[in-house]
Amino acid sequence: MKKVFNLFDFKQKVDYKIEIMSGLTVALALVPEAIAFALLAGLSPLTGLYAAFIMGLVTSILGGRPGMISGATGAVAVVFSGLIVTLKTANPNITIDEITQYVFVTVILAGIIQIIAGALKLGKLMRLVPHPVIFGFVNGLAIIIFMSQLPQFTVDSTVDGAPWMQGEQLYMFLGLVILTIIIIWGLPKLTKAFPAGLAAILVIFGIVYFFDIDTSTVGDIASVSGSFPIPSIPNIPFTLDTFLTILPYSAIIAGVGLIESLLTLNIIDEITETRGHGNKEAVAQGTANVLSGFFLGMGGCAMLGQSLINISSGSRARLSGIVAALALLAFVMFGASVIEQLPMAALTGLMIMVAIGTFEWASLKTFKRMPKSDILVMVLVTAVTVVLHNLALAVLVGVIIAALVFAWDNAKRIRARKHMDENGVKHYEIYGPLFFGSTTVFNDKFDVLNDPDEVIIDFKESRVVDMSAIETLNKITERYMKVGKKVHLKHLSPDCKNLLKNAEEIIDVNVIEDPTYKVVSDQI
């Protein structure tokens, strides 16, 4: 039965059954991920579980994208690995409990940075991320999700380098994984009344329980039993040295969290054909991280895999995220003994299907249609994401390369149409943008020594973009003046005129036709 769900600022029809079932599915998928990411960072499993609870609850209530799931993530865990190395280098005798206190403060500071970014409306900077970068990011993340499931096929997934399963153990585990995949793939073709992911987990759990199959479970990774997290102030020396130690890591976590969260938001927007609010999500992520640090959590950000599980299960509202967070806490406090019996094969199959669904298969079809530069950017971002597990660096590298390619392409597009009028005045009609990349080509268009005594350079079909372009205009006019020739610059914006030397002597003012764009400059 569908009702109107008026939670906070969103008014929409919500199927409570779908939302609750989807939330429970997400909660089950969050358990092994939260534990794995905490262990990856060298922290207690409960720090990952508490982070998933706080991040999921706060962002579901305050975030800018209904249906998006947040929690402890691998991208953030990798950053903590670097922090731990730094702390151990500075103090070899530091204990894991002391390190955890530094982690909490780092998360709190990262959250403050994210709140500031959201308040300054920096979320709009996501517009600068080209589509090939998003393709590369998503494909790289899908590969990481898939690769993160491979240790489950070893005899002990908690030990690095453990040998692979052999014989009957491998066949049994692989069979359960394949059955999970078949259920998740096939059930939606029959009915969408029940989330396929949750159905697969329950079926595999039933098979393992009733047939007494010996296979790895969540409890084999770590205990998930705990109490409600009691808020506390981290116990570290609040000195300038401490601040300078954690600040770089807080900044990286804030950047990684915002990039991953806003990209996830954009992807969910495309799937649901709705529009989220990036700046609101940034503030929510920051608030969640601050609270996570005080509530004994390792922090995190939006999770594309779990968000896709939620959306593919039919969720479109905030309720599913709230249910997932509360269910996760209930698992920790009351249901740990049951959750620890869930077969890892079911959760592994679920995450493999998430990886398959995350990968942008359509991007492979565009290889022959996309420009080679876009393909290069996409492949490079995917490679950096997979090799370094650094999503922020991968996106940054992609944006920089895409920007350089764009600048190079536009640098070749500037043209000059030349003609002489009846008065013997030579006209240069400029086409294309004049900016730092096109200044050399622009200068080559002029024949200063052989031009007549009077020259007109018309920018009606061009645009002066930056200070490099302004300086180029100054130099070209000086070259004409040195040989005693008069040059007129037409159709320049008012700020161009203010930045040019001898502007009154060389610019023809035409109030009606002069453009009003701004040049990128420190003076405006």
pLDDT in tens, 91-130: 999 998 999 999 999 999 999 999 999 999 987 777 777 8
Tell me the pLDDT tens digit for each residue of 333-386.
998 888 888 898 988 888 888 788 878 888 888 787 888 888 989 999 999 888
Q: Are residues 20 and 132 in the same domain?
A: yes
Is 74:221 a contact under the CB 8 Å cutoff?
A: no
Closest CA to 217 of 228, 209, 227: 209
The pLDDT of residue 7:
46
Q: Are residues 99 and 176 in the same domain?
A: yes
Q: Are residues 128 and 205 in the same domain?
A: yes
Q: Are residues 200 and 307 in the same domain?
A: yes
Q: Are residues 429 and 393 in the same domain?
A: no
Is 256:76 a contact under the CB 8 Å cutoff?
A: yes
Q: Considering the domain boundaries, does residue 518 fall inside one? A: no
pTM of the model: 0.72
Q: Are residues 101 and 175 in the same domain?
A: yes
Residues of the chain above pLDDT 90, percent: 42
CB atoms within 10 A of CB 27: 27
Q: Considering the domain boundaries, does residue 522 fall inside one? A: no
Q: Are residues 335 and 427 in the same domain?
A: no
Lowest-pLDDT range of 9-23, 455-469, 499-513: 499-513
Q: Are residues 344 and 468 in the same domain?
A: no
**pLDDT beyond 60 at 209:** yes
> How far is CA 135 from its chain centroid?
11
Q: Are residues 354 and 457 in the same domain?
A: no
| Element holding 463 (H helix, E strand) | strand 454-464
Q: Considering the domain boundaries, does residue 215 fall inside one? A: yes
Number of domains in the chain: 2
Cα dihedral angle (421, 425, 426, 428), rounded to 10 degrees?
Answer: -90
Q: Considering the domain boundaries, does residue 519 fall inside one? A: no
The pLDDT of residue 514:
59
CA 280 vs CA 265, 356, 443: distances in Å: 11, 30, 46
Residue 426's domain spans which residues?
Answer: 413-508
CA distance 285 to 112: 10
Q: Considering the domain boundaries, does residue 515 fall inside one? A: no
Q: Considering the domain boundaries, does residue 516 fall inside one? A: no
Q: Are residues 71 and 192 in the same domain?
A: yes
Question: Domain containing 473 — which CATH number?
Answer: 3.30.750.24
The pLDDT of residue 502:
61
* pLDDT band for position 511 (cuts 50, 70, 90): very low
Q: Are residues 358 and 436 in the same domain?
A: no
Domain endpoint, select from 403, 421, 456? 403
Domain endpoint, select from 365, 384, 403? 403
Q: Considering the domain boundaries, does residue 517 fall inside one? A: no
The pLDDT of residue 220:
84
Closest CA to 285 of 82, 458, 69: 69
For residue 98, what is the DSSP state? H
Q: Are residues 431 and 396 in the same domain?
A: no
Q: Considering the domain boundaries, does residue 399 fall inside one? A: yes
- Between 57 and 79, the higher pLDDT residue: 57
